[in-house]
Structure 1
Amino acid sequence: MAYQVDLKTFTDDRGNLTVIEKVIPFDVKRIFYIYGVDDSIRGGHRHYQTVQAAVCLRGRCAIYNQDGAKEQIFELNSPDQCLILEPKDWHQMFDFSDDAILMVLASEYFDATDYIYEPYLKHDSIRELTAGQ
């Protein structure tokens, strides 16, 4: 199941310095970031091999996750929070603030055959599932 880790942050009168070191459980082979998102839902897949680490560098977003046994919604709203997504974690990113920048570190290079698009559970929409939250 996906889990959150706190990233070490050093703060003084000059500002903040956040370090991603010794908390990511894989060697990083790919980095991408998502921004300028309207009310769309991103993601909608899991992987055969790829482990991912998601950090919302600016603004906020939510990540819905299911691993076949448990469903959970993670709120990312600080650049010192990191969400680790295991290959079995089927996930969708949604509810992006206008200024959101979501950076994702991946354990594998892009490979279209590594993606599994079928969710474990069927829902009409993430919006229905999260209504009232």
Structure 2
Amino acid sequence: MAELIDLQTFTDKRGNLTVIEKVIPFEVKRIFYIYGVDDSIRGGHRHHNTTQAAICLKGSCEIYSTEGTTEERFVLDSPAKCLTIQPQDWHVMYNFTSDAILMVLASDFFDPDDYIFEKYSITQKQAYHD
């Protein structure tokens, strides 16, 4: 299941320095940014193999995740928060602020055959809006 990690951040009068070191549970092979999002919902899939780590560098967004039995909603509103998303986690990203920049680190290179778009059949109410 998806897990929120607090990234180590050093703060002094000069500002903040956040470190991503020895906390991402995979070797990073791909990095992409999502920004300039209107009221659209992004994502809507899970993976066969790829693990991801999402960090909202600026602004905020929400991520809904389910592995078929448990549903969770995460608010990413600080560049010191990192959400790890496992391959089995069907997820969507939504409620982007107009200034949001969401950076995603991925364990694998892009492969269209790695994507599974089918939602899980769960009885609980979805925590995001379709």
TM-score by length of 2: 0.95
Residue among 118, 123, 126 paired with 2:128:
126
Aligned Cα RMSD in Å?
Answer: 1.5
Which residue number in structure 1 is paired with residue 84 of structure 2? 84
**Distance in structure 2 (CA, Å) of the matches to 1:52 and 1:116:** 15
Q: 2:72–2:127: 8 Å Cα contact kept in structure 1?
A: no
Whether the 8 Å contact between 2:64 and 2:127 is mirrored in structure 1 is: no
SS of alignment partner, residue 127 of structure 1: coil
4+ residue runs over 2 A deviation: 121-126
2: CA distance between counterparts of 1:21 and 1:114?
26
**Displacement after TM superposition at 1:127 (Å):** 1.3
Structure 2: distance between partners of 1:84 and 1:52: 6
1:30 aligns with 2:25: no
Could you say which residue in structure 2 is the equivalent of 1:19?
Answer: 19
The gaps in structure 1 that reach 5 residues or longer are 129-133
Residue 96 of structure 1 is matched in structure 2 by 96
The corresponding residue for 2:59 is: 59
Deviations 1:99-125 (A, max 9, x none): 000000000000000000001037799
Determine the C-alpha separation between the residues in 1 that align with 2:95 and 2:6: 21
Question: TM-score, with normalisation over the residues of structure 1?
Answer: 0.92
Q: 5+ residue gaps in structure 2?
A: none
**What is the number of equivalent residue pairs in this alignment?**
128
